[in-house]
């Protein structure tokens, strides 16, 4: 009997059938279940993220090699993760998207190898790496091989760090060791229905006796508001992809490039609204985001970690088309004081901006570091030092605007001239001093006030004198700690001109492996 030799048409038909079967992932029933839960499939997420028809898949036919615990011959299409390259707004990205319809998105040897290959491709091509997490965790049947796979992912996260931007999207479960890979990336975007934690409710109950839900320990409210692990919260999968696209628009593709530059306004007119935005009474609060919106292009400010350590505001914006990182005290929350969480939040953001050539604009209205036993026991000295380290180590253009209070060590930590800020400007409302006038007078003139015929009147008189002599920007300007005192209405123009002048800044530091930030 003569063996039938397949024609090229038959082979192509076989290929197309295989591709269609694999691209269905875990099958239509599981896809329907994914949709019923309000989630997109892995391939639908990729379609929502990248430019139309730009995705080129890699590793479609990859399969596991496990033969243990009933895994032999068990199909795992694409081994539960879709990997490849595409473009976002015309710029190359590499990505990996876990497919929960295939084995619950569990990660085994081949699954992790596919992710690592994309990470290494990002490194070679200087393109951002994006990973979408939706997985039940390590593939237990593969034992040490799955753990080894995670270890390789972690190692490559570190190799990519500071070279290309890394963004993690949490669109489903992300538990156990799997959560450490997102923690090693630059930004985490979590959907409201997703959960991320190291130990789940059942393990916590068994070990500690505490009863909690997955949402309580791993939902976006916990991981954004309390732990500060998450940077953005998305309503659903499509919103997560939109946030990712917007974030990428502010970032360069790698550490050797400048961020994308957009078209600038021809003329910047004075903004008189800024002249009255700061309350005359320094005890009154205001929302610093109102200031930010007046300084940046089209009032477009992408705030990072909006609900964590709200006493400091960080985020991305553009000034005359140039991407900038904004760091600003928030007087509307805890009077804008710096504490442990605010210091960590700001320092990490500063270091990211420095790694990727994004100039830093710092808006200062800070009464000091938060006093208290809890803060001291928590290591406020160590955490506050992170800001000093981050700003001092940063070589990107650094421009500081002192709007109102700038007291003591917190003034220094907010990128003072002494931390090598390139430009420090002040508004006439600024109060730059070791401490507030009231506290300073109580220390310096304690005896004089006590011996006075009218201690209360004498104290007010001395406070007024202290403010006139020291709590003004002019004393700092005369000592060249402030480059200029300007009308607030001129701030946007000053920032734009300074960014243009400093664009070619080059700064060299002592040769070393790396500095030792107080972790």
The rounded distance, in Å, linking the Cα atoms of 11 and 13 is 5
Tokens, residue 52: 């139309």
Which position among 138, 406, 410, 496 bears the catalytic label? 410
Q: Which of 126, 143, 162, 177 is catalytic?
A: 177
Max CA distance (Å), the chain: 123
Read off the tokens for 267: 């003329």
Pairing relationship of beta strands 360-366 and 484-485 according to DSSP bridges: unpaired
Active-site residue (options: 409, 413, 433, 436): 409
Which residues does residue 484 pair with via DSSP β-bridges, in sequence order?
A: 425
Q: Is the dihedral of CA 270, 276, 282, 287 positive or negative?
A: negative
Residue 36, classed as helix, strand or coil, is helix
Edge-first strand order for the sheet with 187-191 is 56-58, 81-88, 91-98, 129-133, 166-170, 187-191, 232-234
Tokens at 392, concatenated? 């001092």
What residue has token string 């961020």? 259
Tell me how far apart the alpha carbons of residues 25 and 39 are, in angstroms, rounded to a whole number. Answer: 15
In whole angstroms, what is the distance from residue 198 CA to residue 308 CA?
Answer: 20
Name the residue among 413, 400, 399 with its Cα closest to residue 502.
399
85 touches 115 (CB < 8 A): no
- The torsion angles phi and psi of 324, rounded to 5 degrees, stand at -140, 155
Q: State both tokens at 120.
A: 């290494």
Annotated catalytic residue, options 162, 176, 321, 378: 176
Give Cα 290 to chain centroid, integer Å: 21
Place of tokens 């975007």: 189
Q: Measuring CA to CA, which residue among 16, 15, 89 is closest to residue 54?
A: 89
Residue 325 designated active-site: no
Question: How many other β-carbons are positioned within 10 Å of the β-carbon of residue 445?
Answer: 19
Structure-block tokens of residue 205: 């109950």
177 is catalytic: yes
Enumerate the active-site residues.
176-177, 409-410
């Amino acid at each position: 009997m003569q063996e039938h030799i397949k024609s090229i048409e038959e082979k192509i038909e076989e290929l197309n059938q295989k591709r269609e079967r694999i691209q269905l992932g875990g099958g239509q029933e599981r896809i329907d279940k994914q949709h019923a839960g309000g989630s997109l499939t892995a391939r639908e997420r990729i379609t929502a993220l990248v430019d139309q028809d730009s995705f080129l898949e890699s590793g479609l036919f990859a399969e596991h090699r496990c033969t243990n615990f009933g895994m032999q011959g068990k199909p795992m299409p694409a081994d539960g993760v879709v990997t490849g390259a595409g473009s976002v707004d015309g710029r190359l990205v590499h990505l990996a998207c876990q497919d929960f319809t295939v084995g619950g998105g569990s990660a085994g040897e081949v699954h992790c190898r596919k992710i690592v290959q994309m990470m290494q491709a990002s490194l070679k091509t200087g393109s951002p790496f994006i990973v979408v997490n939706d997985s039940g965790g390590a593939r237990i049947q593969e034992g040490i091989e799955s753990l080894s796979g995670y270890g390789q992912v972690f190692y490559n996260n570190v190799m990519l760090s500071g070279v290309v931007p890394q963004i993690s999207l949490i669109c489903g479960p992300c538990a156990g060791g799997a959560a450490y890979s997102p923690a090693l990336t630059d930004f985490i975007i979590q959907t409201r229905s997703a959960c991320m934690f190291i130990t789940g409710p059942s393990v916590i109950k068994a070990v500690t006796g505490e009863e909690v839900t997955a949402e309580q320990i791993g939902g976006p409210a916990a991981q954004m508001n309390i732990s500060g692990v998450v940077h953005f919260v998305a309503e659903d999968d499509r919103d997560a992809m939109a946030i990712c696209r917007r974030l990428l628009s502010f970032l360069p593709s790698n550490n050797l490039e400048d961020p994308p530059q957009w078209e600038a306004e021809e003329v910047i007119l004075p903004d008189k609204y800024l002249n009255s935005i700061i309350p005359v009474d320094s005890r009154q609060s205001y929302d610093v985001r109102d200031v930010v919106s007046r300084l940046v292009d089209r009032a477009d400010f992408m705030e990072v970690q909006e609900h964590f350590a709200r006493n400091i505001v960080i985020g991305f914006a553009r000034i005359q088309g140039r991407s900038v990182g904004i760091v600003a005290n928030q007087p509307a929350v805890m009077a804008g004081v710096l504490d442990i969480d605010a210091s960590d939040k700001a320092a990490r953001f500063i270091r990211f901006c420095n790694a990727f050539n994004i100039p830093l604009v710092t808006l200062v209205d800070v009464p000091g570091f938060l006093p208290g036993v809890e803060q001291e026991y928590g290591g406020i000295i160590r955490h506050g030092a992170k800001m000093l380290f981050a700003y001092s180590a940063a070589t990107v253009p650094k421009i500081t605007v002192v709007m109102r209070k700038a007291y003591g060590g917190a003034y220094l930590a907010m990128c003072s001239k002494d931390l090598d800020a390139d430009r420090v400007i002040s508004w006439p409302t600024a109060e730059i001093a070791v401490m507030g006038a009231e506290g300073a007078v109580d220390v310096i003139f304690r005896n004089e006030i006590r011996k006075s015929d009218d201690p209360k009147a004498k104290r007010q008189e001395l406070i007024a004198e202290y403010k006139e002599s020291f709590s003004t920007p002019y004393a700092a300007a005369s000592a060249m700690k402030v480059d200029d005192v300007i009308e607030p209405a001129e701030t946007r123009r000053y920032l734009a001109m300074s960014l243009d002048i400093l664009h070619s800044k080059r700064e060299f530091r002592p040769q070393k492996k790396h500095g030792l930030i107080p972790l």
